[in-house]
Amino acid sequence: MIYQLSELQRDALQELMNISMGQAANSLARLIGAKITLSIPLISSVTPTEFVDMISSDVMWHTRQSFLGTVKGEVVSLQSHAGCEAIAELMDYELPLSDITREELLLELSNILAGACLNGFAEQLELTTKLSMPTVFEPEKLSPEHYRWAHTLLMEVEFKVESSHFDSKIVICLEAESISTLLSRLNSLLE
């Protein structure tokens, strides 16, 4: 099922995402002491195949974290290879990064951004969520059947660290029954 949002629902969802992603950007900016810019949140409905095609990239690292609660789904984080060492230095990692410390950095960044994004979003809609620990994965090695949904509503935003070439994208994927819950909460806010 492709989810069709009204213009009012889409605008409200984008505004809620803007607020929660802004909180995530502030968390990271305070940690690294650098200015971060955000893209306008993009909201779309995709199939698992479209999702894998959308996030597959050989210039990004990927992490994923599932979440449970009033709504269920996954937060996927894409982090650029470019500028990774500059971020590591800002976060007091020893350079050059080994494979192990790079993975630690990616997991820490994912946890900061995904946690702040999801928590801020859930709080605004009075939803409960519990985020699992992130894991590194390669989307091109997974078949679309590895995802727990047939279609999903994606909410994504890109973070750019101005003092480096580093950027990160956070994508929140909701399962079908969670989309109904989300739209119900959203509609009650709009009344």
What is the domain-level CATH number for residue 44?
3.40.1550.10
DSSP helix/strand/coil, 189: helix
Contact by Cβ (8 Å): 56, 69: no
Q: Domain for residue 104, yes or no? A: yes
Query: Is the bond preceding 134 in cis, omega lying within 30 degrees of 0?
Result: no
In a domain? residue 1: no
Residue 76 belongs to some domain of the structure: yes
Residue 65 placed within a domain: yes
Examine residue 121 and state whether it is found in any structural domain, yes or no: yes
Highest mean pLDDT among 123-132, 160-169, 170-179: 123-132
Per-residue confidence band for 88, with pLDDT thresholds at 50, 70 and 90 = very high
Per-residue pLDDT for 141 more than 90?
A: no
Query: What is the arithmetic mean of pLDDT over 75-97?
Result: 92
Q: Where are the alpha helices (DSSP H) in 43-133?
A: 48-55, 84-90, 99-124
d(CA 18, CA 25): 10
pLDDT of residue 150: 65
Q: Is residue 2 in a domain? A: no
Structure tokens at 186: 């959203």
Q: Mind listing the pLDDT tens digit for each residue in 173-188?
A: 888 888 889 889 988 9
Q: pLDDT band for position 77 (50/70/90)?
A: very high
Residue 92 lies in a domain: yes
pTM for the model stands at 0.88
71 falls within a domain:
yes
Range of the domain at 147: 7-190
Mean pLDDT over each residue of the chain, to the nearest integer: 88
**What is the total count of domains within the chain?**
1
